[in-house]
């Protein structure tokens, strides 16, 4: 599992880690039943506090993406987030798009970014 943390990112580190793992699951690089590295190992690899990684794992467990068992590690539970309706999903997307617009990006650049991210997310499997 390859994830990175960006010190210049304004999101908390636990959120960055959780989002990176979500991306790996969404792209199929982590599949249901696969084990994630232990919290201590990920923390050491990234040079962060182990409680930060534990918080990321707990967040993903709350969302239904991981099964975490103390002492046994974490497994990918599913490739889908726990039940959310269309309205909740759109609200999240709307917030992200608003953030890009407030950063001063023109519509064409926002569309290009969204298109690039979708291509990365739905890249054909080798």
Task: Report pLDDT digits (tens) over 4-53.
Answer: 999 999 899 999 999 999 989 988 889 999 999 999 999 999 999 999 99
| 109's tokens | 């650049």
CB-CB contact of 29 with 120 (8 Å) = no
Are residues 91 and 63 located together in one domain of the fold? Answer: no
Q: Which helix (H) or strand (E) holds 66?
A: strand 66-69
Q: Which residues pair with 67 in a beta bridge?
A: 75
Are residues 19 and 72 located together in one domain of the fold? Answer: yes
Are residues 93 and 67 located together in one domain of the fold? Answer: no
Quote the domain boundaries for residue 104.
Answer: 86-121
pLDDT at 97 (0 to 100): 93
**Does the pLDDT at position 123 exceed 90?**
no
Q: Which residues pair with 66 in a beta bridge?
A: 76
Q: Model confidence over 56-115: pLDDT tens digits?
A: 999 999 988 999 887 778 999 976 666 667 787 788 889 899 999 999 999 999 999 999
**pTM, to two decimals:** 0.74
List the CATH number of the domain containing 19. 1.10.10.10
- Whole-Å CA distances, 107 to 2, 89, 116, 120, 121: 32, 21, 14, 20, 21
Classify residue 125 as exposed, middle or buried by CB count within 10 Å of its CB (0-12, 13-18, 19+).
Answer: exposed
Are residues 30 and 70 located together in one domain of the fold? Answer: yes
Are residues 25 and 69 located together in one domain of the fold? Answer: yes
How many domains does one find in the chain? 2
Are residues 23 and 71 located together in one domain of the fold? Answer: yes
């Amino acid at each position: 599992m390859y994830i990175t943390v960006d010190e210049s990112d304004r999101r908390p580190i636990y959120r960055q880690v959780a989002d990176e793992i979500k991306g790996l699951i969404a792209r199929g690089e982590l599949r249901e039943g696969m084990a994630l590295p232990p919290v201590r190992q990920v923390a050491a690899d990234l040079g962060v506090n182990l409680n930060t990684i534990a918080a990321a794992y707990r967040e993903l467990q709350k969302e239904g993406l991981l099964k975490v068992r103390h002492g046994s590690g974490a497994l990918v539970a599913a490739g889908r987030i726990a039940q959310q309706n269309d309205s909740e999903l759109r609200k999240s997307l709307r917030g992200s798009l608003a953030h890009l617009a407030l950063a001063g990006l023109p519509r064409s650049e926002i569309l290009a970014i969204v298109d690039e991210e979708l291509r990365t997310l739905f890249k054909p499997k080798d």
